[in-house]
Amino acid sequence: MDKEDKIRIIREQKWINYSDAVDIIKELNDLKSYPKSSRMPNILLVGDSNNGKTALIEKFISLNPATFSEENSEMECSVVAVQAPPEPDERRFYNSILEKLLAPYKISEKLDARQMRVKNLLKKLDVKILIIDEIHHVLAGAPTKQRKFLNVLKFLSNELKISLICAGTKDAFNAIQTDPQLSNRFSPRVLKRWGFNNEYKRLLLSFESKLPLKEPSHFIEDGFAQKILALSEGLIGEISKVIELSAIYAIENNFEKVTPDMLDKIRYVPPSDRKKVIYKL
């Protein structure tokens, strides 16, 4: 395997199992079989930017692909995921769902008709869970628009008796809290930053096991592990990036392992220092 192949493998997105993610994915899977009721359970997935929310959602979606039912010769799609529009906008939200389901739509179509078509399509596909990522975008609009958008979520959940999974930064909690009825239906699940403990060391072992290097790097040695944690500020996406850059540095310089001193040589700026770099220009 040449250097280019090794670097490509390192850069490929990989799923790393860890206990919180396994527990949350199990909980999400359980929602699929929840009996239909007038008050379906919903989950609000909250965490800092680049701390694994979107990766977790993508993993859950990959475990629940659309299928073809031979019984009724129709497609079934138990999970549908979309991203909240940059500001609370009903039309754009419905468009996102239609695009995700490869359903055509006309720009001139009236909002009521589009809403009805989305509802009927989700019902036909037997959707059990609707995921809305980046839900904190709701706060980008005026209070009136926020209320209208959240009413759309309530409408779909009530009409179809499906569970909602909303994900976002800490502002996502504030976004949902603007509607008391909706906030009471959501159970928050927080993805915390990583700390220096055995779970973190297991995470490092998982990352190291996927590197195409011949020699062990020993990420879990205390000094090495603490240095990675400090640089990444405990964010799993940043931990991944630090390891990626250091492994690529090793390969480009003909090493078969990553060493602690390489962390000082990679082009990496910790999240909290990135604004400072711009302000110094």
At 104-153, the pLDDT tens digits run 888 888 999 999 999 999 999 999 999 999 999 999 989 899 999 999 99
Tokens of 260: 């602690």
Closest CA to 167 of 204, 130, 213: 130
Does a structural domain hold residue 23?
A: no
Residue 156 lies in a domain: yes
User: Pick from 191, 214, 246: which residue ends a domain?
Assistant: 191
pLDDT of residue 221: 96
Residue 280 has pLDDT above 80, yes or no: no
Residues 203 and 186 in one domain: no
8 A C-beta contact, residue 115 and residue 18: no
What mean pLDDT do residues 9-14 have?
A: 91
Per-residue confidence (pLDDT) for residue 18, from 0 to 100: 93
What is the pLDDT, as a whole number, of residue 152? 94
25 pLDDT more than 90 = yes
Tell me the pLDDT band of 187, cut-offs 50, 70 and 90. very high
What pLDDT, on a 0 to 100 scale, did the predictor assign at position 279?
A: 56
Structure pTM? 0.90
Say yes or no to pLDDT of 239 above 80.
Answer: yes
For residue 278, is pLDDT > 80?
Answer: no
Query: What band does 38 get if pLDDT is binned at 50, 70 and 90?
Result: confident
Same domain, yes or no, for 152 and 206? no
Residue 14 lies in a domain: no
Q: Looking at the structure, do residues 60 and 84 belong to the same domain, yes or no?
A: yes
**pLDDT reported for residue 82:** 96
**Percent share of the chain, pLDDT over 70:** 96
Task: Determine phi and psi for 120, rounding to 5 degrees.
Answer: -65, -35
Residue 170 pLDDT > 80: yes
In the prediction, which pLDDT does 225 show? 98
Q: Check whether residue 87 and residue 224 sit in a common domain.
A: no
Residue-level pLDDT at 89? 93
150 and 263 part of one domain: no
Task: Determine contact, residues 163/40, Cβ cutoff 8 Å.
Answer: yes
What pLDDT is recorded for position 253?
A: 97
Q: What band does 281 get if pLDDT is binned at 50, 70 and 90?
A: low
Specify if 3 maps to a domain: no
Q: Which domain holds residue 240?
A: 194-279
* 17, part of any domain: no
Domain count, the chain: 2
In a domain, 46, yes or no: yes
Of residues 26 and 108, more confidence is placed in 26
Residue 59 in this model has a pLDDT that exceeds 60: yes
pLDDT band at 274 (very low <50, low <70, confident <90, very high): confident
Q: Are residues 169 and 268 in the same domain?
A: no
Q: Which residues neighbour 175 within 8 Å (Cβ) at sequence distance 6 or greater?
A: 135, 136, 138, 139, 146, 150, 168
pLDDT value at position 236? 97
Same domain, 141 and 50: yes
Q: b or e along 76-98 (b: 16 or more beta carbons within 10 Å of the residue's beta carbon)?
A: ebbbbbbbbbeebbbeebbbbbb
Whether 2 is covered by a domain: the verdict is no
3-17, 221-235, 236-250: least confident range: 3-17
